[in-house]
Structure formats: C-alpha cells, structure tokens
C-alpha cells in the first residue's frame, strides 16, 4: 500500500471541540488536540480542565490548595498587610503551579516509557517532584515568618490577664 494511503491527514475543522475535562484527559483522546484553541474562552476551558484533573487525581495538589487557602485565610484573620497577604498568595500559587508542571511532566514521562523503567525517566520525575518540594518548603518558611509573630501576639495576648 502506498505511503499516502497508509497515513491519513487529520480532518479539517474550523475549531477544536470544547474540552470535556476528566473524560477527555483520561478516557478518550481529544480530537484534533494538535490545533490551537479557536478563541480565548476555549483556551481557558482547557486550562481549567488541567486544574480540575490535578485536583481530582493528585492528592498533593489538594493538600497544597488546602494549606494555601488556610494560610491566606489566617493572614486575613490576623489583619496582615496587603503586601504580606500577596506574598503568601504568590508563594502558594508558585507551589500549585509547580505541582501542575510536575503532573504534566510525570504524564509525559509515563506516556514515553510506558511500563518500563528508565533511569532518565526517574531523574525527570524526581527533579520535578524536587522542584515542588523546594517551593513548598520556601512557602512554609515565608508563611512562618509572616504569620507566626502576629499569631503568637494573639495567643500570648489572650493568655495574659
């Protein structure tokens, strides 16, 4: 059979289909996934699908969301300055961003090596996980520096007569 008959080009379409989040990511192959999203709204829907996928399938992502929300809530409760709340929000956002990248890297590596072991795949996955760990430790240090002084003042002030 000639090469032109063996490989068929993808069908032409005016725009890619709307994302269907988890079903698309896990159960079926997104049709025409090589195309650029037709508009900004579709791009945001694809991004939201990635966040939803991570939240539903990655335990650590859910933990980071909870801890970040707790840190921001506590900073608002303690009446931290806006810039301090922003720093806590930025460091929490960095952790979530790196967790999403870690999930993407792990998925690509798993797709590439399938069920086999490869030392370079291990290095890629370990380094991505290490990036999340470093950012999470930095976020904890930032939160401790900003939250502990007013928290201790509140706790010790309520104990004193």
Number of domains in the chain: 1
What is the value of pTM for the model shown? 0.78
Q: Is residue 133 part of a domain?
A: yes
Q: What residues are labeled active site?
A: 99
Q: Is residue 25 part of a domain?
A: no
Q: Are 93 and 61 in contact (CB under 8 A)?
A: no
Q: Is residue 15 part of a domain?
A: no
Task: Provide the b/e sequence for 19-39 (b: ≥16 CB within 10 Å).
Answer: bebeebbeeeebeeeeeebee
- Owning domain of residue 143: 38-159
Residue 25 has pLDDT above 80, yes or no: no
Residue-level pLDDT at 6: 43
> To which residue do tokens 């460091």 refer?
91
Q: What digits encode the pLDDT tens for the residues 98-114? A: 999 999 999 999 999 99
Residue-level pLDDT at 112: 95
Q: Are 103 and 111 in contact (CB under 8 A)?
A: no
Q: How far is residue 124's CA from residue 100's CA, in Å, rounded to a whole number?
A: 15
Q: Taking the CB of residue 65, how many other CB atoms lie within 10 A of it?
A: 17
Q: How far is residue 139's CA from residue 88's CA, in Å, rounded to a whole number?
A: 7
Q: Is residue 9 part of a domain?
A: no
Q: Is residue 70 part of a domain?
A: yes
Q: Taking the CB of residue 115, how many other CB atoms lie within 10 A of it?
A: 5
Q: Taking the CB of residue 112, how many other CB atoms lie within 10 A of it?
A: 12
pLDDT, the chain, mean: 85
Residue 138's CATH number:
1.10.287.3610
Q: Is residue 4 part of a domain?
A: no
Residue-level pLDDT at 34: 64
């Amino acid at each position: 059979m000639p090469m032109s008959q063996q490989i068929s080009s993808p069908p032409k379409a005016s725009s890619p289909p709307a994302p269907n989040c988890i079903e698309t990511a896990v159960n079926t192959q997104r049709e025409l996934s090589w195309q650029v999203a037709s508009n900004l709204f579709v791009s945001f829907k694809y991004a939201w699908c990635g966040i939803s996928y991570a939240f539903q399938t990655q335990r650590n992502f859910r933990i980071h969301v909870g801890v970040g929300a707790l840190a921001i809530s506590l900073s608002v409760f303690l009446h931290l300055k806006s810039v301090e709340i922003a720093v806590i929000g930025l460091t929490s956002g960095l952790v979530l961003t790196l967790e999403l990248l870690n999930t993407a890297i792990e998925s690509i590596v798993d797709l590439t090596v399938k069920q086999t072991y490869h030392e370079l795949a291990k290095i890629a996955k370990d380094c991505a996980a290490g990036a999340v760990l470093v950012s999470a430790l930095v976020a904890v240090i930032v939160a401790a520096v900003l939250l502990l002084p007013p928290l201790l003042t509140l706790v010790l002030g309520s104990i004193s007569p």
